[in-house]
Structure 1
Amino acid sequence: MSNALSMDLRVRFKRLMGDGMRAAGAGKVLLLSPATAARWGKKVRNGEPLEPLPSGARKGSGKLEPFVGFFVELIEQDPDITLVELQAALLTTHEVACSTSGIDALLRRRGYTYKKRADRPGTRKACSAQGAT
């Protein structure tokens, strides 16, 4: 995501519009995109401030946050449970549909990761160079 345009540029845009210039003309003078000029022009006409909106991560916990305990309980019962199985369990038990990537992000934020290891069942052994013909 790109950085917000400077407040100085926004003030100059507002000043040009205050001097009678249209938004498109002010945008051309300041080398703004037509979409930005139109958006800022609408704000100036409506008397809204031109300060940039807050950026960064969204605030809030997300729709899966209430189910952290449910996921932790399932993981403790079966440490080799897959994300697809967690997704199915959530849908069956709580009737909540979500993506596996959402579950993965939630669990990673909580410190849960899964590394494939050769000693776990279902993991293929690496082929050695001597065994290949």
Structure 2
Amino acid sequence: MSKALSLDLRKRVIAAIDGGLSCRAAAARFGVSAASAIRWRQLIVKQGDARPGPLGGDRRSGYIEKHADLILTLMDAKSDITLAELQAALAERGVGVSGASLWRFFDRRRITLKKSRRTRTSRTGPTS
């Protein structure tokens, strides 16, 4: 996984830019990309410092979590609903999610549904 460049390096690049160098010249001087120097300068202007943000983690589950009540209501309405059926029902209501994101939604809540086999009972021996 990638690692954020140090705050010390970021401050030195910003100081060089403030000292009169262009973002590209400061980037070349310190051996970082021009895009990084430009982004760090924009962070200084926008929020006052160039600290790196958090790396990794889940960034997209907030979308599906907004619709948790709807998903759980649909699941309660039909107890043996499949992920594909649930995905289609959500799409009808304007919520576009993937089957994998639905699976992770239920996994976070430790909700599992074990389907029963749709075979008739054996007369000669039990089926497992």
TM-score tier after normalising by the smaller chain length: 0.5 to 0.7
After TM superposition, give the deviation of residue 71 of structure 1 in Å.
4.3
Task: Give the number of equivalent residue pairs.
Answer: 115
Tell me the TM-score normalized by structure 1. 0.65
Runs of 4+ in 1 over 6 A off after TM superposition: none
After TM superposition, give the deviation of residue 41 of structure 1 in Å.
3.5
CA offsets, 1:87-108, max 9 Å, x none? 223345x453332222112111
Which letter maps to 1:120? R
- Percent identical among aligned pairs is 34
1:121 to 108, 118, 121: 118
Partner of 2:58: 57
Partner of 2:33: 33
Distance in 1 (CA, whole Å) between partners of 2:94 and 2:27 is 50
Which letter maps to 1:37? A
Stretches of structure 2 that go unaligned for 5 or more consecutive residues are 120-128
Partner of 1:97: 96
Does the 8 Å contact 1:64/1:103 carry over to 2?
Answer: no
Distance in 2 (CA, whole Å) between partners of 1:109 and 1:41 is 38
Cα RMSD, aligned residues only:
3.1
C-alpha spacing 1:97/1:18, structure 2 compared with 1 (3 Å)? closer
Does the 8 Å contact 2:14/2:37 carry over to 1?
Answer: no
Distance in 2 (CA, whole Å) between partners of 1:71 and 1:111 is 17
1:70 to 69, 73, 77: 73
Which structure has more relative contact order (CA 8 Å, sep 6+)? It is 2
Which letter maps to 1:69? L
Stretches of structure 1 that go unaligned for 5 or more consecutive residues are 123-133
